Structure 1
Amino acid sequence: DQGLGHYVLSVADVDAALAFYTKALGFQLADVIDWTIGDGLSVTLYFLYCNGRHHSFAFAKLPGSKRLHHFML
């Protein structure tokens, strides 16, 4: 009923991404979660929403190139 479930991006600049999605596009910040994935790899995930879902979009600075990490319908 609410369309696209969510999508997750890997970004190079977390501060710039947060400013763009909240200030320019009007998303609201739902959660920030620090996650350790083993072998010392830690990421901070930012979850944002623009509808009734907990989150419609998330991003983090992940190893590797900037890209779409995944999406859920």
Structure 2
Amino acid sequence: MSDFWVNLYKFPRFLISVLMGFFLTTFQPVFKLLKNRKDKLLVIATITITIVLFYRIIQIITDNI
């Protein structure tokens, strides 16, 4: 039974490392694009448009509820 608690205490560290690995591998191509000036503007514009679009969609959905 003590092995169960030892494994349970290790789980948060495992979860954090998995999440960090996911985000690092997901956003590594974005970080490479940010090195070039033209690509940097394109990435920033795309991220901004995406955030504004999601905000407007959520705002419209919540207004109809």
Using the size of structure 2 for normalisation, the TM-score is 0.20
Q: Structure 1 length as normaliser, TM-score?
A: 0.18
Which structure has greater helix proportion? 2
- Greater C-alpha Rg: 2
Per residue, is there more strand in 1 or in 2? 1
